[in-house]
C-alpha cells in the first residue's frame, strides 16, 4: 500500500505539471482527459491517506482496550474500535473499486438504438415509452439527446429510433440498458381489456472517436432516397435521406431525420463507425477468451433483461433479480436507483474476478 501510494502521488504530480504546459492548454480534448485523471488520483490518494489514519487510530483504540483498567474508558475505546473497523471496511472497499481496471469506453458518448419487437403496434408504443424514459433520464443528467433516425407509426409509436447521447460518463451509465425489455399491460388498441406482453430491444454502443475506426471510402455504398413518415407536410419531396452500406461487413445504416443530405450522411457515418467499433471489440474479447457475462451490460443483446409490469406497478431487472415499484416514475426517467444497483453488482463481480 505504501509503494502504491507513492506511485500514485508521483503520477499525480506529473499530471499537475502537464496541466500547466502551454502545449496541453491548446489541446482541449487532451487537457480534459488529463484533468479527469488528476481528479481521480486526487480522490484516491485522499482515500488511501484516510485509510492509513484509520488504521493508526484503530491500533491506538485496540491498545487502549488491552491496557485500560477503568471500565468506562475501556467501554468508550471498544465503541471507538467498532466504529473504526466499520470505517476501515468501507474505505478499503472504496479503494478496491477505485483500483479496478477501467473500461475505456465508459467516458464516451453513447449511440442508442431502440427497435419494436413482438407485439405489433403495442410494441412500437412501448419503444416510444422507452425513448421518452431515456430522454428524460438524460435531461435529468444534463446530457444532450440528438435523434439520428426514426421510423414512427400512425399512433405515435416507434418501429425504430437511433439517437446519440452526449455528456459526462454517458456510456458508463447507459451500457447496462442493452437487451430485450418487456412490457405487460392492457394495450390502447385492446378493446376487451386483456393484458398483453410486448417487447422492444435496446442496443447501446460507445460512440467511436476519430482514431478508433478507419474506413476505406471504397468499402462504402451510399444511396439517397426520400425521407418517409406518417404523412402530411413533413414528408420530404427531395432525396435528403441517406443509406450507407459497409460492403465488407454488410452493415447498413439509414438516416433521414435531418432535412440536409449532408447532415444525414454525417450521422449515418457516426452510427456506422460505432457499430464497427463494437464489432471489433467483440472480436478482440473472443480472441482473448473473455466471457462477456462477467460484466453486466456487455452480455447477449437477445437476453431478456427487464420487465415493466403495469398491473402490479413493478419493474423487475432479471439480471440482478431486483424489483422496484413506482413504474410511472421509472418510465419518467428516474433510473438512478436501478442503474446504481446494476453498477454495484458489476463492481462486485469484477472484485470477485480480480481476487
In this predicted model, what pLDDT tens digit does every residue of 42-84 receive, in sequence order? 999 999 999 999 999 999 999 999 988 899 999 999 999 999 9
pLDDT over threshold 50, residue 299: no
Where residue 120 falls among pLDDT bands split at 50, 70, 90? confident
| Cα gap 299→175, rounded to integer Å | 10
Domain boundaries, the chain: 2-98, 108-211+292-354, 217-287
pLDDT over threshold 60, residue 298: no
Q: Residue 289 region, left (φ>0) first, then alpha (ψ -120 to 50), else beta?
A: left
Query: How far are the Cα atoms of 10, 37, 50, 97, 211 from residue 5, in angstroms, in the given order?
Result: 9, 15, 12, 16, 33
More confident residue, 353 or 139: 139
As its CATH architecture, domain 108-211+292-354 has: 2-Layer Sandwich (3.30)
As its CATH architecture, domain 217-287 has: 2-Layer Sandwich (3.30)
Q: Which residues on neighbouring strands pair with residue 306, listed in sequence order? A: 181, 317
| Cα gap 163→132, rounded to integer Å | 12
State the pTM of this model: 0.80
Question: What pLDDT score was predicted for residue 47?
Answer: 92
Amino acid at each position: 500500500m505504501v509503494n502504491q501510494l507513492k506511485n500514485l502521488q508521483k503520477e499525480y504530480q506529473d499530471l499537475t505539471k502537464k496541466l500547466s504546459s502551454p502545449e496541453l492548454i491548446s489541446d482541449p480534448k487532451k487537457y480534459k482527459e488529463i484533468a479527469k485523471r488528476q481528479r481521480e488520483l486526487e480522490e484516491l490518494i485522499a482515500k488511501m491517506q484516510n485509510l492509513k489514519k484509520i488504521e493508526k487510530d484503530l491500533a491506538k483504540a485496540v491498545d487502549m482496550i488491552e491496557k485500560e483498567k477503568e471500565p468506562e474508558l475501556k467501554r468508550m475505546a471498544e465503541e471507538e474500535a467498532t466504529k473504526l473497523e466499520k470505517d476501515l471496511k468501507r474505505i478499503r472497499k472504496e479503494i478496491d473499486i477505485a483500483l479496478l481496471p477501467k473500461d475505456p469506453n465508459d467516458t464516451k458518448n453513447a449511440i442508442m438504438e431502440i427497435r419494436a419487437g413482438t407485439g405489433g403496434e403495442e410494441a412500437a408504443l412501448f419503444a416510444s415509452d422507452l425513448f421518452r424514459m431515456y430522454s428524460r433520464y438524460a435531461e435529468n443528467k444534463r446530457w444532450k439527446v440528438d435523434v439520428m433516425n426514426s421510423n414512427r407509426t400512425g399512433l405515435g409509436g416507434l418501429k425504430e429510433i437511433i439517437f446519440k447521447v452526449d455528456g459526462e460518463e454517458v456510456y458508463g451509465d447507459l451500457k447496462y440498458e442493452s437487451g430485450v425489455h418487456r412490457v405487460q399491460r392492457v394495450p390502447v388498441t385492446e378493446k376487451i381489456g386483456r393484458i398483453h406482453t410486448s417487447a422492444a430491444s435496446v442496443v447501446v454502443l460507445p460512440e467511436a472517436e476519430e482514431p478508433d475506426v478507419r474506413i476505406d471510402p471504397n468499402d462504402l455504398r451510399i444511396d439517397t432516397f426520400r425521407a418517409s413518415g406518417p404523412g402530411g407536410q413533413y414528408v420530404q419531396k427531395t432525396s435528403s435521406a441517406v443509406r450507407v452500406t459497409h460492403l465488407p461487413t454488410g452493415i447498413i445504416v439509414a438516416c433521414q431525420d435531418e432535412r440536409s443530405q449532408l447532415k444525414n450522411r454525417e450521422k449515418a457515418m457516426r452510427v456506422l463507425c460505432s457499430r464497427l467499433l463494437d464489432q471489433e471489440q467483440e472480436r478482440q474479447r473472443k480472441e482473448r477468451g473473455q466471457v462477456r457475462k462477467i460484466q453486466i451490460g456487455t452480455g447477449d443483446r437477445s437476453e431478456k433483461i427487464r420487465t415493466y409490469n403495469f398491473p402490479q406497478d413493478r419493474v423487475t431487472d432479471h439480471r440482478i433479480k431486483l424489483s422496484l415499484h413506482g413504474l410511472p416514475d421509472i418510465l419518467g426517467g428516474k433510473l438512478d436507483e436501478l442503474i446504481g444497483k446494476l453498477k454495484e453488482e458489476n463492481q462486485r463481480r469484477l472484485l470477485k474476478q480480480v481476487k
